[in-house]
Amino acid sequence: MNLCVAKEVSVRVGAKLILDNVSVSIAAGEWVSVVGPNGAGKTTLLSVMAGLRTASGRISIDDRDLKELSPRERARLLAYVPQHPEIPPGMKVSSYVLLGRTPHLSFLGMEGPDDFRLVQQVLEQFDLATLGQRTLESLSGGELQRCHLARAIAQATPIIFLDEPTTALDLGHQQQALDRIRRLREEHQVTVVMTMHDLTLAGQYSDRVILMSEGEIAADGVPSEVFDPDRLSDLYGAHVKVLNIDGHLAVIPMAEY
Amino acid sequence: MRTESSPPRCTHPRAASLRSEKLGAPGLLLGFVAILVAASAGLLIGPAGIDKTAAIMELLDQIPFISVDSGLSQIQKNIIWEVRMPRVVLGALVGATLAISGASYQAVFRNPLADPYLLGAAAGAGLGATVAIVTGSGDGIGTFDLVPLLAFLGALTAVALTYTLGYSSGAQRSPAALLLAGVAVASFLTAIQTFIQQQNVDTIRQVYSWILGRLNTASWDEVSLLAPYALVSTFLILMYRRTLDVMRLGDVEASSVGIRPQLVRLVVICAASLGTAAAVAVSGLIAFVGLIVPHTVRLLVGTSNRIVLPLSILFGAAFLVMVDLLGRSLASPAEIPLGVITAFCGAPFFVVVLRSSKRTLG
């Protein structure tokens, strides 16, 4: 069953077509990575599917047209973590994660005991319980990334959109972040759509990869099919090799000297 | 996905601590003590030389079921109830309104330097008051003093002009356009006000007296003029105190958790501007209150608007009552304009804020 469907979506900025008649379907429980060179339209597609950017065409989540939903109704269906989330100065970790409960509160309402309890569980799941009273700006990059994910999980939505969730993380933290997303996905049956630059990680963790180029979908399928060396070399303008190491894909740029 | 079909009660000890951090009870207690101390000082200290014990008796006598004889003459009673009390109440209302307006402007613009006069309220009020004074309809005598009315209308018109200009220039995409529109409108109105003032040098002293802020004309009439606007403005802003924390995430992320950032900004700006316009109308331009008080509160209790906003009300009220007491005591029997004292406090204060900016600049 398709949870999220984007049909014939186009975005134009001035004379430039950022997305050109793109259609995508995301099945419930799927982990989909949107990859492609810089300027391919990955982030635009993600923000359009998250209902945060206007576009022509139709986007539906759980068979409900996003344009017909109020922001609050929409935020109960999908959570979104941008590439560079805001870090409000002086805000405590627990307060930050509590903001994820916003769409579940009544108009101008405050959190109740159930919200506090749920957020406490999320803090523990993300190993943030001991950091709850720390301010966001005092955290390391890896800890901050966990906070952003925790806020999205606290939103308790069936689908989460993550814009390059491993940006600015070192190798170990990238792997830990994606492992955590995998565990959360299994525990909560949440559908994950994310943009990625690292093709190796995208290939190893995702069920499916959408390769974009110049506002269009160049390929869509399981990573082993999409990551064709010639196709990637052509799209990225680089010499690329795809290795299969014990069943794990590795996409490696090769120096040409 | 986690659902909330049968959520258990909040029994987890850490969950309880999450909840208690929102209350800021010590801060509220401190705020009430501050306002009590400031109001008591404002009521008991003055040039009339009324015995403080007798004045306390007079105040206690007004409490239901307490009857004590203060021994004060009717004139002394009138000084307490018709001169000092309205002045303290008006000072508290103006201080509270300017402080919460400043805090809410800082929240919606995510700019620590935003103050209640950011969108041209001061310039508009200044122009309105100057017009009233130079045309002779604002001498402060009788019922036809147009200074408060024109200052009020001037402030609201300026903010409306800024909003219209800002939104026709792209403020829906970025609040920065609104700030720039505020600078343009304030500059333009100040230019007109300065020109009118320069053409009417005989009233320059009155205009300056108003611009530098004063409470020496405080009366119950002015209290009743300001109170409805201050209450409506404060109530609306407090309703949005949690939403203003969400706004700290920026427009995109606030929208992603179900908030309409532009609508929130509009409502809060309207509420804050209404309160500011009414405060300016009765007190003149008192600078820095909307900056000093919220930043001090953030230094004390952190940056959450849930607690910064209510505490700004209490500390803003206490602060201005104390400033007014200083203004009428330091050079007694002359009075130092309030704007002079608040500005005098403002400069060193910002050095403190700068030094602790990592924590407070929210």
In the predicted model, is pLDDT for residue A101 greater than 90? Answer: yes
Closest residue in A to B6 (Cα–Cα): A114
In the predicted model, is pLDDT for residue B13 greater than 60? Answer: no
Closest residue in B to A50 (Cα–Cα): B256
d(CA A113, CA B133): 57
Q: Please name every residue paired with A161 in a beta bridge, in sequence order, or none if there are none.
A: A80, A193
Interchain CB distance below 8 Å, B258 and A74: yes
Give me the DSSP letters along B236-299. HHHHTHHHHHHHTT-HHHHHHTT--HHHHHHHHHHHHHHHHHHHHHHH----SHHHHHHHHHHH
Tokens of B302: 């952190």
Cβ neighbours of B16 in A, within 8 Å:
116
* Tens of pLDDT, residues B50-73: 888 888 888 888 888 888 887 888
Identify which has the larger pLDDT, A19 or B3.
A19
B362 interfacial to chain A (CB closer than 8 Å): yes
Interchain CB distance below 8 Å, B258 and A88: no
Whether B65 and B28 have beta carbons less than 8 Å apart is answered as no
In the predicted model, is pLDDT for residue B8 greater than 50? Answer: no
> From the CA of A185, how many Å to the nearest CA of chain B?
8
pLDDT bucket at B141, cuts 50 / 70 / 90: very low
Q: DSSP state, B202?
A: G
Helix (H, G, I), strand (E, B) or coil at A208: strand
* Tens of pLDDT, residues A26-44: 999 999 999 999 999 999 9
Helices B176-199 and B121-134: crossing angle in degrees, nearest 10, is: 20
Q: Which amino acid is at B183?
A: V
What is the CB neighbour count within 10 angstroms for residue A72?
17
Cα A235 to chain centroid, rounded: 22
d(CA B70, CA B55): 7
Interface test with B, best of A52, A105, A110, A116 (most B CBs within 10 A): A116
> From the CA of B8, how many Å to the nearest CA of chain A?
7
Cβ neighbours of A112 in B, within 8 Å:
10
> From the CA of B3, how many Å to the nearest CA of chain A?
7
* Tens of pLDDT, residues A203-215: 999 999 999 999 9
Total number of domains in chain A: 1
> From the CA of A9, how many Å to the nearest CA of chain B?
20
d(CA B326, CA A66): 58
Whether A91 and B304 have beta carbons less than 8 Å apart is answered as yes
Closest residue in A to B12 (Cα–Cα): A117
Query: What is the mean pLDDT of the segment spanning A1-16?
Result: 91
% of chain A at pLDDT higher than 90? 76
**Does residue B333 have a cis bond before it (omega within 30 degrees)?**
yes
Helix (H, G, I), strand (E, B) or coil at B88: helix
Cβ neighbours of A123 in B, within 8 Å:
14
What is the CB neighbour count within 10 angstroms for residue B37?
13
B245 interfacial to chain A (CB closer than 8 Å): yes
d(CA B203, CA B188): 21
Query: What is the mean pLDDT of the segment spanning B289-307?
Result: 90
Fold of B76-360: ABC transporter involved in vitamin B12 uptake, BtuC (1.10.3470)
> From the CA of A131, how many Å to the nearest CA of chain B?
12
Please give the residue range of the domain that contains residue A106. Answer: 2-253
Interface test with A, best of B3, B4, B12, B18 (most A CBs within 10 A): B18
Closest partner residue to B1 (CB to CB) among A80, A94, A190 is A190
pLDDT of residue B171: 63
The domain spans of chain B are 76-360
Whether A210 and A33 have beta carbons less than 8 Å apart is answered as yes
* Tens of pLDDT, residues B228-255: 999 999 999 999 999 999 999 999 999 9
Whether A98 and A119 have beta carbons less than 8 Å apart is answered as yes
Assign residue A40 the CATH number of its domain.
3.40.50.300
Interface test with B, best of A120, A148, A149, A186 (most B CBs within 10 A): A120
